[in-house]
Structure 1
Amino acid sequence: MTFFLGLGIAGIVLLALSLIFGGVLEGLLDGLFDGLLSLPVIAGFISMLGFGGAIVLGSTGAGTFVATVVGVAAGLVAGWLTWKLSRALMRDQTHATPRDSDLVGTSGSVVTAIPAEGYGEVLLRLGDQPVKYAAKSATPVPRGTEIWVEAALSTTSVAVRPVER
């Protein structure tokens, strides 16, 4: 039983090492079997082999051979589940990161009046989040006016014009 527990602990240590030094250690197995032999998969297999074998050996009167067969089966299931889960997580795509140029053509409202010379503030939506920007306009724009963004001047300022209806 000590051997099986040792395998289980070794698998957990390998999993911890793969989490800490993932990029370095993963390079050793790079390109083998399309991620089937990644370190988390190997760690899951070894851990379940060890702990599954130890549970069978300690709780039943079965011998080492039966404990090994059950441990290998449990390890294969754990390795396969780890592989499937990691592939699903790697396929998960997020939306593109919003950029300042995405603001051009959007509408918003003036929060602080925009003078003819200088900056005011406008509230815009970037990536479905309200964001306050410094705003410049060719004409004075009073507070509460709906505006259109004409250009992104910098990461924190925009050029706007009032919406004409």
Structure 2
Amino acid sequence: MLDIYWGCLFGGLIFALVTLIFGDLLGDAFQGLFHSFSLDHFDILQPMVLVSGITVFGGTGAVLTLYTQLLTVIIAILALILAVVLSILIYFAYVKPMKNSENSIAYSMQDLVGIPGQVSVTIPAEGYGEVILKIGAGHSNHIAVSQSGQELPIGTKIFVIKVEKSIVSVVNQI
């Protein structure tokens, strides 16, 4: 059983080193080759989570086998429990937050509806001005018209109500 633990430990370490050193190179070489086998909908099956669990299983099993007098079955169960717990911890502490932190600067004009912003160029009662909207990780300026027909001075907090022909209709945030 000790050989299995060492194999899991060293297999995980080698995978980590190969990924660290050659990750981008291998990703470019096999670009799209494995997309049909994607497990993106099973986030818990991400390679980082699986390999971390296997490595922890191997390391825990090897240490417990060498330094304790516990039964082989108990060592295997403890190693498996620790591997599962640490895999779940890695998933919730690292993988899931990293997936959720991906920002894109792409947006459609219809995505602007409901977004708060601020007037940067006064919007007259019957005319056009400009607003600044925070979108994703950045800011974007847009031509705007007052939906209520009232003048909106610089600095007024607004909401986008609708978008028509690349012009945003806004109202005072009050």
Greater gyration radius: 1
TM-score band w.r.t. shorter chain: 0.3 to 0.5
TM-score, normalised to structure 2, is: 0.45
